[in-house]
Chains A and B, each alone.
Chain A
């Protein structure tokens, strides 16, 4: 009878009554080690007392209460899900249709931005060209501006001849 047998028997005693075969093995162990007799008696008694502890109080309608709580919980989740999923539902439904429109808008906005940027660059260049002309700085150049603007359409040569 080794320690492992004793340990095995002890762990069995912790959970249930020993079978007749196990009881024989225990008696054999105790005859060789009578000092363990009291310990095994106490182990057996403790197991029995633990098993005899009454069940915890439980209302007779416990299952019904659980099912009712479950219904409430599921209803609450459903309501929360519906509210939370409202936007998600519309997004999922319209996203495929909105995608090309959104892309077109983005491309259009980019193109418009490019066009405006190009136009401004051109205007700046024109202004710069005018002010870089040495004649442009002189007020005399614009002396006959109003007269010339009101002339019927003339060619540049005719205008030059007239000015000279």
Chain B
């Protein structure tokens, strides 16, 4: 049985026994994927960092409730989403708290962009602009559609597992992703028409 155990689940079993090295290994592996989802949900780097920390603390504190039958990635993204939803609810009750939030329409770039690819200066400009437009379009999506789309980027998760995280059926999940993508295509239409996609891809 343990031979077929998901490596993350095996680490979680060790965390259950209080093994902090195993916990650190999980933090190391999941910090970026969790941060990616949290940051694009909250749109505030500092709050996202705090909340991502809470996600991992929650993982440790809830380790005794973890069932090996559940895939770890599904479990941690569920925790991350629940904490994000709590934060969004808290913001809606105390709107003044999020005044310092960086909006997509601010003059400043959303953050320092660390390109995965190296682009020549004009391409980099185009790519940077495209990224900003995509980030802004993502921000406009309803929470569930955005989360579905962001989780779809994670290779770790199948459609079934994304459905588990969102707490809805497989068909509903695919429908959420489809609608999110349709909205993005609609919002980014000018770039599609000018062929900027292709230019940036080259």
Contact = CB atoms under 8 A, between A and B. Distances in A.
A116 to B, nearest CB: 55
A57 to B, nearest CB: 5
A14 B181 contact: yes
A45 B197 contact: yes
A69 B57 contact: yes
A153 B82 CA distance: 97
A54 B114 contact: yes
Interface in A55-82: 55-59, 62-63, 65-67, 69-70, 73
Contacts, number: 97
Chain A, interface SS category? helix
A114 to B, nearest CB: 52
Interface stretch (B5-13, B45-53, B84-92): B45-53
B75 interface: no
A57 B157 CA distance: 22
Nearest to B188: A46
Interface in B13-28: 20, 23-24, 27-28
Nearest to A50: B153
Contacts of B76: none
Interface string A130-151: 0000000000000000000000
Contact of B39 (A45, A56, A65): A56
Given A46-B184, A54-B116, A62 B49 contact: yes
Contacts of A46: 181, 184-185, 188, 197
Contact of B53 (A51, A55, A57, A69): A69
20 contacts: A11-B159, A11-B174, A42-B192, A45-B198, A46-B197, A49-B134, A50-B134, A52-B131, A53-B153, A54-B131, A55-B36, A56-B40, A56-B45, A57-B112, A59-B49, A62-B31, A62-B35, A66-B31, A66-B56, A69-B53
Interface of A: 11, 14-16, 42-43, 45-46, 48-59, 62-63, 65-67, 69-70, 73
